[in-house]
């Protein structure tokens, strides 16, 4: 299995583990230990590019915090001792990528919908600290829909105190395109307000996935509107650390979705750098 293929494997389980899984992450640049707070596959978005099969019911429906914590301890030990690289498919991991880059909260749904979000962030930070991993980042991969909830705000502050980084999804510039891609009743304005409010408190990473839908890439009008939304966040006093421009790398939920060409991804990244004035990074796709 090639390194590129390893990047496309985002298994939601590892051996007998239910909540913790390792990933060779193309965006992290090394090993990311994922924590799945949505084993029931429930999400308040239904993105057309998501790879999670929500038609098939999961065997694990609820998060057992004690079991999750033990799995995290065991996974961090596997990475620290190098035993992870003795196992399939990680035995092919290049030496330069054999290091723990982050602990990420992602999985089969929106992690901030977990009702004890602040408690689990605090618990995982404690595990990280006791493992001597103070410098390892904790990454929240999120659609930003729940940032206005008090327990989520508390969780974000705990992240801030523990090398936290927030990767907030923004896949559109207009309300119409947002609903086409995300298929959610949550208003686009709420997402933008939540991202802006969070960005006023700490620098955010924006993650934007662009694709072909029914053969068509995003229009020039849509991309211009997207740049305007980023400018509005900055204009309101928000801080953006980085904008990740990427495309489909794993089999999507809908057959109408296909990846952009590498040059198209780079063109969008260039547009954002030029018009918005923030750092960008490109990540490329894979045809299926």
The string of pLDDT tens digits covering residues 180-207 is 999 999 999 999 999 999 999 999 999 9
The string of pLDDT tens digits covering residues 218-262 is 999 999 999 999 999 999 999 999 999 999 988 898 999 999 999
Rounded Cα–Cα distance for residues 157 and 154 (Å): 5
pLDDT of the residue at 89: 87
Q: By the 8 A CB rule, do 136 and 101 touch?
A: yes
Is the whole model's pTM more than 0.85, yes or no? yes
pLDDT at 98 over 70: yes
pLDDT at 149 over 70: yes
Residue 243: C-alpha distances to residues 18, 105, 122, 126 (Å) = 31, 19, 27, 29
- SS3 per-residue string spanning 126-188: HHHHHCCCCCCEEEEEECCCCCCCHHHHHHHHHHHCCCEEEEEECCCCCHHHHHHHHCCCCCH
pLDDT at 288 over 90: no
pLDDT of the residue at 28: 82
Identify the residue whose tokens are 């996935």: 209
pLDDT at 31 over 90: yes
pLDDT of the residue at 9: 41
pLDDT at 7 over 80: no
The string of pLDDT tens digits covering residues 33-63 is 999 999 988 899 999 999 887 566 555 668 9
6 vs 114, residue with greater confidence: 114
For helices 65-81 and 117-130, give the axis angle rounded to 10 degrees. 30
Least confident of 8-12, 87-91, 148-152, 178-182: 8-12
pLDDT at 64 over 90: yes
pLDDT of the residue at 56: 62
pLDDT of the residue at 193: 98
In the chain, the domains with their CATH numbers are: 1-169 (no CATH), 172-288 (3.20.20.70)
Can you list the alpha helix ranges (DSSP code H) found in 164-259? 175-182, 188-201, 220-235
pLDDT at 77 over 60: yes
pLDDT at 32 over 70: yes
What would the mean pLDDT of 86-107 be, rounded to a whole number? 92
The string of pLDDT tens digits covering residues 104-147 is 998 899 999 999 999 999 999 999 999 999 999 999 999 999 99
Position 216 confidence tier, pLDDT thresholds 50, 70, 90: very high
Rounded Cα–Cα distance for residues 250 and 254 (Å): 12
pLDDT of the residue at 155: 98
C-alpha torsion sign, points 257, 262, 264, 269? positive
pLDDT of the residue at 2: 36
């Amino acid at each position: 299995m090639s390194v590129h293929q390893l990047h496309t494997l985002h298994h939601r389980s590892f051996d007998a583990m239910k909540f913790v899984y390792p990933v060779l992450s193309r965006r992290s640049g090394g090993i990311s230990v994922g924590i799945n707070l949505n084993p029931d596959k429930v999400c308040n978005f239904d993105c057309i590019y998501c790879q999670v099969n929500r038609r098939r019911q999961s065997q694990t429906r609820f998060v057992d915090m004690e079991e999750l914590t033990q799995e995290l301890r065991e996974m961090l030990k596997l990475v620290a001792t190098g035993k992870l690289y003795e196992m399939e498919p990680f035995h092919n991991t290049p030496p330069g990528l054999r290091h723990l880059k982050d602990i990420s909260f992602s999985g089969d749904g929106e992690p901030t919908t977990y009702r004890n979000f602040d408690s689990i962030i605090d618990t995982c930070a404690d595990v990280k600290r006791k493992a001597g991993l103070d410098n390892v980042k904790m990454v929240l991969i999120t659609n930003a829909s729940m940032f206005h909830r008090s327990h989520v705000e508390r969780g974000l502050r705990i992240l801030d105190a523990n090398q936290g980084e927030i990767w907030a999804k923004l896949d559109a510039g207009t309300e119409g395109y947002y609903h086409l891609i995300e298929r959610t009743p949550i208003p686009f304005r709420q997402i933008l307000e939540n991202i802006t409010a969070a960005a006023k408190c700490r620098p955010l990473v924006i993650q934007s996935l662009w694709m072909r839908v029914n053969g068509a890439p995003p229009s020039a009008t849509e991309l211009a509107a997207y740049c305007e939304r980023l400018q509005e966040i900055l204009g309101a006093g928000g801080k953006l650390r980085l904008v990740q421009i990427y495309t489909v790398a794993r089999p999507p939920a809908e057959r109408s979705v296909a990846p952009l060409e590498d040059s198209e991804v780079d063109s969008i990244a260039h547009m954002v750098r030029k018009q918005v004035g923030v750092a960008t990074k490109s990540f490329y796709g894979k045809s299926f």
